[in-house]
Amino acid sequence: MAELPRSRGPTRAPLAVLGAAPAFETPLLTGCPNILDPAETASLIRDAMARRRLTNEGPLVRRLEEQFAAFHGVQHAVAVANATLGLQLVAAALNVSGEVIVPSFTFIGTVHALSWIGLRPVFCDISVETHTLDAARVELAVTRETGAIVGVHLWGRPCDIDGIQRVAGAHGVPVLFDAAHATGSAWQGTRLGRFGRAEVFSLHATKSINGLEGGMVTTNDDELAERVRRLRNFGFSAEGRVVSRGINAKMDEFSAAMALTNLAAFDRLSAHNSAIREAYRHGLARLPGLRLSENPAGDVPSRHYAVVEVDEASPLRRDELCRVLVAERVTPRRYFRPGCHRSPPYASEAPRHPLPVTERLSQTLMQLPTGLQMTPDDATTMVAVLGHALEEAPRVRAALAATAP
Ligand code: T4K
């Protein structure tokens, strides 16, 4: 961002947007990957290279599947190339057809995955407290065309699993959960992974457990797990015969190496993120109109997501605060604006059901960095910057207007 003329008057607050030096020398990114044990990861990758077993259900992928299943207390964990393909494999394995009830407030990948295989998304609103599917609204969205309900454990927060399953049970439709954000998360004291017909986790580099790219389908259903395994590998059975259609959704050994070492250090990452979140929470509590979004139903163990709610009491809007942070070399994210229903190709059709909470949250939430790239003191500095910006709101707004993006 261009430096602003200091002739606007003395800068009381040290804000880059008002011409001061940025608060951070090194950029802080929301989504910066965590690599918890680079030496062990490199050693596993060297071993894989020495074995020349690089993919197609190698030993590291199998070990990861065992450890992921044990970690989540579920019988089957099937490693896949990414969660997008994982969602498609589960939907295909369950022969889902027709319409799929899904939140609009999610990463576009949830919806693309389903529509790519011919399913028609029906967007449903979320709860303002949890940011996950509102079961009462799901009930209103069910029709004879409904082929499945896909809940998203957004920010690692468990969906209203009971409520959604009750609706699904009453109408005889399967439930799957997009657990892309939810590695390590628990619902009423039990780790996610066993709920619905299957759950699909992401091990993308930006997730709490990073496997470069990757995903994991979990289920307690033996037959479903077997079908997903087959579909993941061109329809080959364990005996090496093609017994159905299939695709290539296999995970490679390097991804498994990275995910294994990160999974082993989950508690360390959790503790680190916990301290960062505490610094955010403590600082934000003193700022008007800003607060760290919490899961009302309890803790989310990965603590990977630091989502800030910016309401009407804030003298600056969410988008203005994001620009203030960018000037300080911090990259916040406005996940998940504008809502999938407003993105092509889905925007061409008006949503069938009202989405007021989705509309509001897509304009007011801001996600801040966490992870090993930073310390709790960095979080405190970031909150101080936000506080200065709010105090100087008229000057900040004028400065931003002068450099409109
Ligand atoms: N369901 C949900 C609810 C999801 O959030 C996602 C994925 C999926 C399903 C599908 O899962 P996968 O098929 O991917 O397994 C990113 C990720 O690509 C995506 O995986 C993730 N959700 C989504 C929330 O975020 P972008 O387009 O926002 O990523 P990008 O490239 O802008 O990076 C985000 C930030 O992370 C930037 O500040 C840069 C930083 N970064 C990123 C990468 C990849 C790094 O510093 N290093 C890196 O290597 O989608």
* Residue from 147, 194, 198, 141 nearest 172 by CA: 147
Q: 336: cis peptide before it, omega within 30°?
A: yes
- Residues contacting residue 122 through CB under 8 Å, at least 6 positions apart: 99, 100, 101, 102, 141, 143, 146, 352, 353
Cβ atoms within 10 Å, residue 364: 19
How far is residue 144's CA from residue 126's CA, in Å, rounded to a whole number? 22
User: Is residue 302 very low, low, confident or very high in pLDDT (cuts 50, 70, 90)?
Assistant: confident
How far is residue 139's CA from residue 147's CA, in Å, rounded to a whole number? 14
Under 8 Å between Cβ of 288 and 313: yes
The two domains 16-30+266-332+369-402 and 38-264 share their CATH topology (first three levels equal):
no
- At 79 the three-state DSSP class reads strand
Whole-number percent of the chain with pLDDT over 90? 93
- Please write the tens of the pLDDT for every residue from 99-121: 999 999 999 999 999 999 999 99
- Please write the tens of the pLDDT for every residue from 247-281: 999 999 999 999 999 999 999 999 999 999 999 99
Distance 109 CA to ligand 1 centre (A): 10
Distance 189 CA to ligand 1 centre (A): 28
Closest-lying ligand 1 atom to the alpha carbon of residue 335: 24
- At 179 the three-state DSSP class reads coil
Cα–chain-centroid distance for residue 182?
Answer: 8
**pLDDT in the model for residue 301:** 77
- Please write the tens of the pLDDT for every residue from 125-140: 999 999 999 999 999 9
| Mutation probe of ligand 1 site: the residue of 34, 107, 115 with most atoms within 8 A of C-beta | 107
What predicted TM-score, i.e. pTM, was given to this entire model? 0.96
* Residue from 336, 342, 360 nearest 105 by CA: 336
- At 68 the three-state DSSP class reads helix
**pLDDT in the model for residue 296:** 87
**pLDDT in the model for residue 11:** 41
Angle between helices 376-391 and 318-327 (to 10 degrees): 120
Alpha helices in 172-288 (DSSP H): 222-232, 253-264, 266-284
Write down the residue that tokens 């995910």 correspond to. 259
Question: Which CATH homologous superfamily contains domain 16-30+266-332+369-402?
Answer: Aspartate Aminotransferase, domain 1 (3.90.1150.10)
Mean pLDDT rounded to a whole number for the chain: 95
Q: Which CATH architecture has domain 38-264?
A: 3-Layer(aba) Sandwich (3.40)
How far is residue 209's CA from residue 372's CA, in Å, rounded to a whole number? 12
Q: Using CA positions, which residue lies closest to atom 25 of ligand 1?
A: 206
Per domain, the residue ranges of the chain are 16-30+266-332+369-402, 38-264
- Please write the tens of the pLDDT for every residue from 61-108: 999 999 999 999 999 999 999 999 999 999 999 999 999 999 999 999
**pLDDT over 80 at 5, yes or no:** no
Pocket around ligand 1: residues whose beta carbon is below 6 Å from it?
29-33, 82-84, 106-107, 109-110, 152, 178, 180-181, 202, 204-206, 215, 331, 335
Distance 170 CA to ligand 1 centre (A): 35
**pLDDT in the model for residue 13:** 62
Distance 334 CA to ligand 1 centre (A): 12
**pLDDT over 90 at 7, yes or no:** no
Alpha helices in 31-106 (DSSP H): 38-51, 59-72, 83-93
Q: Using CA positions, which residue lies closest to atom 47 of ligand 1?
A: 32
- At 133 the three-state DSSP class reads strand
How far is residue 166's CA from residue 50's CA, in Å, rounded to a whole number? 51
- At 190 the three-state DSSP class reads strand
**Structure tokens, 312:** 């009407």
